[in-house]
Amino acid sequence: MTFQLLGTALPLYGTTDTVVELLTGDAGIALLLGVVLLYVGAESLVKGASNLSVGLGMRAAVAGVTVVAFATSAPELAVGVLSGLDFGTTLGLGAIVGSNIANIGLVLGLSALIRPLDVAEETVRRHVPFMALAAVLLVGFGLDGTVGRFDAAVFLVALAGFTYVLFTATDDGDADLDVAVDADADDSVATDGGATAEGFGFLANRDIRLRDLAFVAVGLLLLLVGARRLISGGQTFLYYLGFGDRFVGLTVLALGTSLPELAASVVSAIRGEADFSVGNVVGSNIYNVLAVLGVLGLMTPISVPAGTSTFEFPILVGFTGGAIVLMLRNRELTRVDGVVLLAGYALFVHFLL
């Protein structure tokens, strides 16, 4: 049995020598290049998005769950849509489910281990319920073996509701933000390659820099290229070892697309910016399901393997529910909580293998 990827027909199940040769050949280069491009692209995107959110006067809790979270979800969007259209929806679904589990177990766990994370009241009241809703909707719609176009439309409607809540929260804080902006109103001309948005309604007096917009654009381009390389390289290598779409999506693609969340949350934890760390994970898990699967599901029905319904879905619900309980307990994620989350993720990977 052979399959065709990267322009070379490869036999399924190779010897140790051929696996080493594969790793050092086109597949290995594509896999490494994909991960590097995703990471660099995400760093560029997060940097630009974070600076833009500050320039727009957004609070850290809101910026973390919106701009930064959506930016770090861009790899999942790229991988999910590209894999769904080119390689099969099972691969994209596995990447999303695996990424959401990794976001909670690995990313949030490691961030809390580095530094205890305070959980903002706004995150608990406005954002966490949508993370729970996204997980419940995905599991509920996937139990019949398919996430169809109607299901995808419901995801997008829920996403619209989440967006409305975010804008409502932003409006509630506009007065405070305007006071802060007015204090620096003398910056009529932005420096360092920037340009103010004076004269554009609600964006007036916001500090929007062209350099940050360039970071966002370059980051998106690198993410698209990196996603395709990661899919090709990871699928080629693991298929060669006899693994299927489900395992490929849950491992190499899920971990690869979680690198931006890991980088952003760990750096935020080190800097003591807990709102960004927690908000990044919560927002990313919301966007992964409601936005990515919503878009992919509208394009083509998503097939849900039986193993996903009986194993990954319960694990996803367990991690989501466990994280919410830990957040609600003392409005803080301690180092002990971080160890628990990391141990849970280690067990998940162990059972996958």
pLDDT tens digit string along 94-134?
A: 888 988 999 999 999 999 999 898 888 888 888 899 999 99
In whole angstroms, give the CA distance from residue 68 to residue 61: 10
In whole angstroms, give the CA distance from residue 285 to residue 282: 5
Could you identify the residue written with the tokens 């999942």?
76
Q: Which of 134, 107, 108 is nearest to 119 (CA)?
A: 108
Structure confidence by residue, pLDDT tens digits, 3-32: 333 433 444 444 555 555 555 567 778 778
SS3 73: coil
> What DSSP designation does 187 have?
-
For residue 191, the model assigns a pLDDT of 40
Q: Directed axis angle between helix 26-55 and helix 210-240, to 10°?
A: 150
Could you please state the CATH topology (level 3) that the domain comprising 12-179+209-352 is classified under.
Answer: A middle domain of Talin 1 (1.20.1420)
For residue 170, the model assigns a pLDDT of 53
CA angle at residue 349 from 147 to 27, to 5 degrees?
80
Q: Which of 128, 123, 130, 110 is nearest to 342 (CA)?
A: 110
For residue 331, the model assigns a pLDDT of 87
* Burial (0-12, 13-18, 19+ Cβ within 10 Å), 351: exposed
Beta pairing, strands 146-147 & 2-5: unpaired
In whole angstroms, give the CA distance from residue 176 to residue 89: 45
- Own/partner pairs, 343-348, CB within 8 angstroms, 24+ separation: 344/105, 344/109, 344/318, 344/319, 345/101, 345/102, 345/104, 345/105, 345/106, 345/109, 345/319, 348/101, 348/105, 348/315
Q: So where are the chain's domains?
A: 12-179+209-352
* Burial (0-12, 13-18, 19+ Cβ within 10 Å), 176: exposed
Task: Using a pLDDT cut of 70, give the percent of the chain over it.
Answer: 68
Tokens of 186: 């003398």
| Biggest CA pair distance of the chain | 69
CA angle at residue 45 from 43 to 46, to 5 degrees?
65
In whole angstroms, give the CA distance from residue 327 to residue 118: 9
SS3 84: helix
Backbone angles phi, psi at 196, to 5 degrees: -75, 165
- Name residues of the chain where pLDDT drops below 70: 1-25, 56-73, 79-80, 82-88, 169-208, 231, 235, 244-246, 249, 257, 273-275
